[in-house]
Every structure is written in C-alpha cells, then in structure tokens.
Amino acid sequence: MKSLRPRGWWRAIASTASTAALLAGGLAVAATPATAATSITNGGFETGSLSGWTATGPATGVTTSGPHSGTYAAELGSSSPTNGASSIAQSFTAPAGSPVLSFWYDVTCPDTVTYDWATATLADTTAGTTTTVLAKTCVANSGWKQVSKAVTAGHNYTLTLTSKDDNYTGDPTYTLYDDIALTGGTTTNDFSLTDSPAAAAVNPGASAASTLTTAVTSGAAQTVAFSASGLPTGATATFNPASVTAGASSTLTVSTAASTPAGSYPITVTGTGTSATHTTTFTLTVNGSGPSLVQISTDPFTNSTSQHATEVEPDTFAHGSTIVSSSQVGRSTTGEPPTSAGTPRPTAAPPGSTACFPASPPIRDQARGPGSRTHRSATTPNTAPG
C-alpha cells in the first residue's frame, strides 16, 4: 500500500489536466489563502464539527491533520477504503455587490479518475441551473488548491463538496476541504419586524395592544420608526417608543371610539429604517354590540323552610357609566295576588300562610298568581371607581 504524504504542505500550481478543466469551467486557480467566510456558516470548520453543513455518505467529518488554515478542515472519505461518495452541502444567498465564492481542496487519490475523484457543484436555485465548479479530479498528491467562482447578488445557491472512493483496498481516496468563503460582496443593513399578538377583538371605546419586535438580519443595527395605516373610523394608533434601534421592541396601542363601526380591520404597521423598510399586519376586530353588562354583585339568599326567597342586596350590573340593579323583593305562597295599588299592605301573614313584602314600594310590581314573585329594578348613575 502506498504511504501517505505529509498533510502540512500545499502547492500553488495544479496539474495540467486539473488546471485545464478549471479554466474550461470559467474558474481560477489561485496561490493565496482565502479570506474568512462571511455568508458561509462554519466555512473554516473551526467549530470542530460540520455544523452548518448537511453531510451524506459513508465518511464525513473534520480533521486536525494538515488543515489549510486554522485548526480544522473537513475530511470526506478516509485513509481506509470507503464505498461511494461522501459529501457536505450548504445553501446561502449571495450578498450585494460583486460576490465571489471560493474554497480550498486537497485530494489524495492514488487511483484513476475513472473510479475515484474529488468534485464540487454549485446549484443556482434562483436560476434553476447547476455548475460543476470542480471537475472530477484524481491526483495522488494534489496539495491545497483554491477554486473561485463569481456568483450573482441576491441569488440563492447550494454548494456541494464531494469525495468518491470505490472501496478498493489498495487505493483509498479522500479529500480535505477548508476556508469556504464569500468575498467581494457588500453587506446591506437589514432587519425583521413581527407583532405579537397579531390580532385582537375589542368593543367600541376600548383599546388593544401588541408588541412589535425587531431584529438585525444582516449588517449593523439601524433606527426603525413606526407608523400605522388602515385604522377604522375614530381609532388612533400610538407607539411606545415611537422608534427603536433594530433589535429592540415597541408597544403598539390601538384605541377605538364609541362610534367606531363594527368590523374587522387589517392594520398595516410599517417599520422604516435607515436602509430598509418592512411591514407587519395587526388585525383589529371591533365588536358590533358595544359593551356588555358586567355583573358585579349578587346575593342568592334562600330560606327553603318558609318558602321565602329574598336578596339582601340586588343583582347589580355595570354598563359604561350606568349601574343596573334588579332584585327579588318577596314571594307569596297564599294564592292571593299582591295588594293592589293604593290598598294598605298587611303587616302580617294570614293564619296558615307565609308572605313577604318589600320594605318600600317597588318601582315595578309583577304578579301572576299563586307562588308569584314580586320584583323591582332601578337604573342609577355609576359612581363606582373607574
């Protein structure tokens, strides 16, 4: 078996066959190290793992043996035979400007390109095209080589790096990859905007609130000012604070008037930054029935022995600035109707019966025969706090 070469050296010139293949594909072979990765996650594998990459195949991992720079490099395949292609892949979006994708590879392939090889493809998922940025290459001792490819700003790409071995005992093939980077681009400051909750329902005259959250998605933080449109008639929107530095939050409060018509209103909240603008939608539903009665007290006192039911205090409901009270005052079990208006009420029940009477004349009396109830109700101004 062929002894393995030392892993700590690299050559600046590719073999004639590999160079011709790279140039035919519009690529460049460079002799200077790549700069650190920007939009590529873990392009130097300095996490000590393949985090940020999707790995497939029989042998994928990282090694500290002879990286191009730093401490680690990705190793696809193995110094022992493996069966098939081992690959890692990552998707990214090319930044603005004139971005260039580059990576370094070092292949050990004691076989021929018919059976074993290193290769790399770049899929432009925006355009729906795939380019072979590294043609199938099999060199016994390639040393570190750099591949560079211009990419289109704003397009989405998937880079796939591969090493293939035919599992033959005498000539295992493996490839190191390192320092995958995007250079030459211009990073645009940008942010995201979300709201929570994204919807609320209120009665006319009430208000609803939502938290607006911003986050830096690229570049540096910027000042974001808020505004709202699409408000219903009589409604107003306020922001606290009115502007934030991207990464901070604000509270949106939408206040309605008593005259605000019922309906569902998608309110567009706009965050205007120094270099970007984003929107989110807050849906406000205004109920059609106005405020509901709110019960604030009750007293269900009952004396079942005497068949007498009364309330020490009435059932009381609040509606805006008005309190509505309703109370049962008495129950008669004698079979006799209540005393008609103008007739003095008895002060005691007839023998063999029970009767209850209000301490003061009711506002409204209703009697419908034996066992009937006598009720009264009143409406008074709401002087309760709030």
Residues making up the chain, counted from first to last: 386
Please answer whether residues 275 and 221 qualify as being in contact, where contact means their C-beta atoms are separated by less than 8 angstroms.
Answer: no
The sign one gets for the Cα dihedral 338, 344, 345, 350 is negative
Query: Residues near 2 by Cβ (< 8 Å), separated by ≥ 6?
Result: 110, 140, 170, 171
* Domain residue ranges in the chain: 16-186, 190-286, 294-381
Q: Which helix (H) or strand (E) covers residue 99, if one does?
A: strand 96-108
CA distances from 351 to 125, 158, 282, 334 (A): 98, 99, 70, 10
- CA angle (302, 307, 309) in 5-degree steps: 35
Task: Answer yes or no: are the C-beta atoms of 232 and 274 closer than 8 Å.
Answer: no
User: Which DSSP letter does residue 27 get?
Assistant: -
What pLDDT, on the 0 to 100 scale, is given for residue 9? 35
Residue 17: its pLDDT value, please? 35
The answer for 67, left when phi > 0, alpha when psi is -120 to 50, beta otherwise, is: beta
136 burial (CB, 10 Å; 0-12 / 13-18 / 19+) is middle
Q: Are 42 and 159 in contact (CB under 8 A)?
A: no
16-186 homologous superfamily: Galactose-binding domain-like (2.60.120.260)
Does the N-terminal peptide bond of residue 110 adopt cis geometry, omega within 30 degrees of 0? no
Which residue matches tokens 């208000």?
A: 207
N-to-C CA span, the chain: 91
Per-position pLDDT tens, the chain of length 386? 434 433 333 333 233 333 333 333 333 333 333 333 347 999 999 999 999 999 999 999 999 999 999 999 999 999 999 999 999 999 999 988 889 999 999 999 999 999 999 999 999 999 999 999 999 999 999 999 999 999 999 899 999 999 999 999 999 999 999 999 998 877 778 899 999 999 999 999 999 999 999 999 877 899 999 999 999 999 999 999 999 999 999 999 999 999 999 999 999 999 999 989 999 999 999 998 544 555 556 655 555 555 544 444 455 555 555 555 655 555 544 444 554 455 554 444 455 544 444 444 444 434 344 444 444 444 445 444 44
Q: What is the pLDDT of residue 189?
A: 85
For the 190-286 domain, the top CATH level (class) is: mainly beta
- Which is it for strands 73-77 and 60-63: parallel, antiparallel or unpaired? antiparallel
204 Cβ partners below 8 Å, 6+ apart? Answer: 256, 257, 258, 259, 260, 262, 286, 287, 290, 291
pLDDT at 321: 53
